[in-house]
A and B are shown apart, each in its own frame.
Chain A
Amino acid sequence: MSAIQFWTTIFIVLSFSVYIYIAWRSRVKETAGFYVAGQGIPTVANGAAVAADWMSAASFISMAGLIAFLGYDGAIYLMGWTGGYVLLALLLAPYLRKWGKFTVPEFVGDRYSELVRTIAAGAAILISFTYVVGQMRGGGIVFSRFLNLPVAGGVAVAAAIIFTYAVLGGMKGITWTQVAQYTVLIVAYLIPAFAIAQTITGFPIPQISFGSVLAELNALSIEFGLDSYTQPFTARPQIDVFLVTMSLMIGTAGLPHVIIRFYTTKSVRGARYSAFWALLFIALLYSTAPAVGAFAKFNILDGVGGTAVTELPEWVDSWEATGLVIVNPEVETIESISNNPADEADLTVDNDILVLANPEIAGLPAPVVGLVAAGGMAAAMSTAAGLLLVISSSASHDFYFRRVKKGHASESEKLLVGRLAMAGAVVIAVIGGINPPAFVAQVVAFAFGLGAASFFPTLVLGIFWKRCNAKGAAAGMSVGLLFTATYMIWSLYISPGSTVFNISPEGIGTIGALVNFAVAIIVSKSTEPPPEDLMELVENMRSPAVARRGGAPAGPTVDQAPESELGGA
């Protein structure tokens, strides 16, 4: 066992023990009746939990590597996956918190109709599932490298662990586990980033110091036949950069497993501040990622480029076993580098390994490498667990209980259906993780496109336009979803590589959202308005307290929302 394997095992076993311990303690408390949903969780902790739930293998493992190869164009992920929180905080979270039903299908079921609820449950399953595939792939890469397995074996190991974890810790008390996972993943991300910044530039804060390598990076990139690093629109045309960024943002705001977290806040005000803390915690990683990407690219070009094949550094050798680093057997010195095997460059480096390999590439000590592996697992697991819960609750509660059994099913029956749905999702996700349709971050981007086209418009109209009715919402959501999925399938499988107006399958969600808005508005306008009492409910949703505190500003009158009702579901 090498030093790296030793430390990886230590860190993964240690961090997993902590998660399981916390999950176990929360459950003990719960059965003893100490745990009350929505109370005692400080806003800051909830923000950290949102951040862990949110930042997945795509953010942790895949994103910096993508940025390294995309240069400026990597900004689509940086802006897209942070800007959505502004929409979430301003347009959705506080109102949905006030409404009190916090799964997306529950809310649209109340606001519109049972049909819309079923469509939403279907969309939630589809989106969460696409997203889980990305997590499996990410977790699989970690295990593949550190257990010396082929990627397929790594995916199977990751899937087994994620499934066990989701079933075990997948109850209400996972908030604190996710706080621990956030801590592990952010520490694991920042330590090597600071160390690398210090080694390369002599200044440890990567956000500031990566500027100083940009000029040299541009020059090196051109030397190796790549695009200049800071040059915009080299990988995607401007219109597509715009649309993909927008699609990721509005998709973020509509993701079911993120929205559900704002239910655990104490108040409407808590939901607003949770969004702030969540984005602050996310920004810690997201502002570091472009620096990590730039440094990694710099290290590879500077350290490997022009080197004789026999003299390549050790990390190339150890990653070759995974099949994710390929040295062209016919060359003697490395003169071209690519991330795409089809380019047949002298050295091919998969995007997804850069963050994991970065400490090795930069020559950091073995414990740091092990820590990064644990961080990658924390990111993949916390997100996968959240997603599997959405899949299982949508399948068992919104489909089975509400549609199939019309409300007559026992708790144990529901639980069984939920677990079966989870197991089915894991099996299909393993197959998807072994043969992914695209890189991890891109797979995830498809999930966002689907979320953008289905949930966001329906939710925003439900809050901001009282006149929007069930028919409009149902029509808008199904047409938007169908349109987006059709375009993705067409562009990926039926006629691979073809696009309309240069719009990539990742960017089509923006158009799908516009289609959803348009259809919902037209259909609502041409059908009867929603009933009076429903409009009054929407009106009520728009301010934090149910009734206004009577005239005297100093008098702290009690006007609470009916908590018993909010706590239901």
Chain B
Amino acid sequence: MSESKQPVAPDDEWREQYWKRNLRLMVGLLVVWFAASFGAGILFVERLNEIVIGDFPLGFWFAQQGSIYTFVVLILVYALRMDRLDEEFGVEERDAEGKRL
């Protein structure tokens, strides 16, 4: 593997920083992931069903609609935030012309 021949940056601290920021973002998004599906859709569904919004019992809505929409938004947020993080640490991928891949 030629990767081991790559010069390692003199201070390895950025890697740790980058990884920490990445993990923090990830954990935050996973909390939302859990809350929308397992929380609102399963664990608290009966209590939320007492609230009816636009003909839908709320817990039922989260289980069959809301959680799906939440998932889509979560991945988009992750991709966008990681774009920014990569750029901030200068680890984004670019082709030979410097265009972002």
Contacts and interface: CB of A to CB of B under 8 A. Distances in A.
A548 B12 CA distance: 10
A547 B29 contact: no
Interface string A49-72: 000000000000000000100001
Given A269-B83, A543-B18, A556 B94 contact: yes
Contact of B57 (A230, A238, A280): A230
Given A86-B74, A238-B42, A562-B2, A547 B7 contact: yes
A232 B37 CA distance: 14
Nearest to B18: A543
Given A542-B15, A558-B96, A242 B55 contact: no
Chain A CB within 10 Å, residue with most, of B15, B64, B92, B101: B64
Given A548-B89, A549-B90, A562 B45 contact: no
Contacts of B54: 208, 211
B15 A90 contact: no
Interface residues of A, number: 66
A533 B87 CA distance: 27
Contacts of A467: none
B49 A245 contact: no
Return the 7 tightest CB-CB contacts between A and B, nearest first: A556-B98, A211-B55, A549-B90, A75-B63, A267-B101, A290-B64, A272-B79
Given A245-B38, A560-B94, 14 more contacts: A75-B67, A86-B33, A86-B71, A90-B29, A214-B57, A269-B83, A269-B92, A537-B4, A542-B19, A545-B92, A548-B89, A549-B94, A557-B98, A561-B93
Interface string A538-551: 01101111111111
Interface string B19-50: 10010001001100100011001110110010
Contacts of A283: 68-69, 71-72
A268 B93 contact: yes
Interface string A296-325: 000000000000000000000000000000
Given A90-B26, A273-B79, A83 B65 contact: no
A212 interface: yes
15 contacts: A79-B37, A79-B41, A85-B75, A86-B29, A86-B30, A89-B78, A211-B55, A270-B101, A272-B79, A276-B75, A283-B68, A545-B90, A546-B3, A547-B9, A556-B97
Contacts of A215: 55
B51 interface: no
Given A232-B49, A266-B101, A546-B6, A287 B68 contact: yes
Contacts of B18: 542-543
Nearest to A71: B60
Interface in A247-265: none
A388 B88 CA distance: 42
B42 A89 contact: no
- Give the interface size bracket for B toward A: 35 or more
Nearest to B23: A464
A539 B8 CA distance: 11
A184 B54 CA distance: 32
Contact of A544 (B46, B59, B93): B93
Contacts of A353: none
A370 interface: no
Contacts of A75: 41-42, 60, 63-64, 67
Nearest to B19: A542
Contact of A269 (B61, B72, B101): B101
Nearest to B2: A562
Contacts of A275: 75, 79
Contacts of A550: 90
Given A75-B41, A211-B56, A559 B71 contact: no
B36 to A, nearest CB: 9
